[in-house]
């Protein structure tokens, strides 16, 4: 399934430019929201801001996970398991989700998302394509 890059700033004051943004339904225990998430091949984990996790009433489990910022700051993020879906009902999966007060950009990372999907980026055309990964045994 093909998606176009979207011209969205990643944070307040940032220059807006086309990025691979995917609208993903994040399901909480009682409701879900459609959240723009950066498709980030450099991220190890799937992340959302803690404020969104609170709004969806997503409760963390006992596990915490280390996060490293570009500046080298070390953080401990809360971890939960949630259902993510996109492309209508074409794609859906359970994902490990990290959240922290200092996370301001929701992103899809390697664990669960890139391990389950083949993503092809074509920045020159401002499109990306997502297919289910073929599992090799």
Residue 1: per-residue pLDDT? 94
**pLDDT confidence of 71, banded at 50, 70, 90?**
confident
pLDDT tens column, 112-129: 899 999 999 999 999 999
pLDDT tens column, 81-96: 999 999 987 899 999 9
pTM to 2 decimal places: 0.89
pLDDT higher than threshold 80 for residue 134: no
Residue 136: per-residue pLDDT? 58
pLDDT tens column, 16-46: 789 999 999 999 999 999 999 999 998 899 9
Question: What CATH number does domain 2-8+21-132 carry, 2.40.70.10, 3.30.1360.30, 3.40.228.10, 3.90.550.10?
Answer: 2.40.70.10
Mean pLDDT, the chain, integer: 90
pLDDT tens column, 40-54: 998 899 999 999 999
**pLDDT confidence of 137, banded at 50, 70, 90?**
low
Cα distances (angstroms) measured from residue 98 to each of 14, 31, 46, 67, 73: 23, 18, 6, 9, 16
């Amino acid at each position: 399934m093909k998606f176009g890059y979207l011209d969205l700033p990643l944070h307040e004051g940032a220059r807006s430019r086309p990025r691979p943004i995917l609208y993903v339904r994040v399901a909480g225990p009682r409701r879900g929201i459609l959240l723009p998430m950066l498709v980030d091949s450099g991220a190890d984990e799937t992340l959302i801001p803690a404020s969104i996790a609170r709004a969806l009433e997503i409760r963390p489990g006992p596990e915490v996970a280390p996060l490293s910022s570009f500046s080298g700051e070390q953080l401990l993020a809360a971890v939960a398991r949630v259902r993510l879906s996109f492309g209508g009902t074409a794609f859906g999966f359970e994902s490990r989700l990290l959240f922290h007060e200092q996370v301001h950009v929701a992103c899809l990372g390697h664990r669960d998302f890139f391990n389950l999907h083949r993503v092809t980026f074509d920045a020159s055309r401002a499109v990306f394509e997502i297919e289910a990964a073929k599992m090799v045994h």
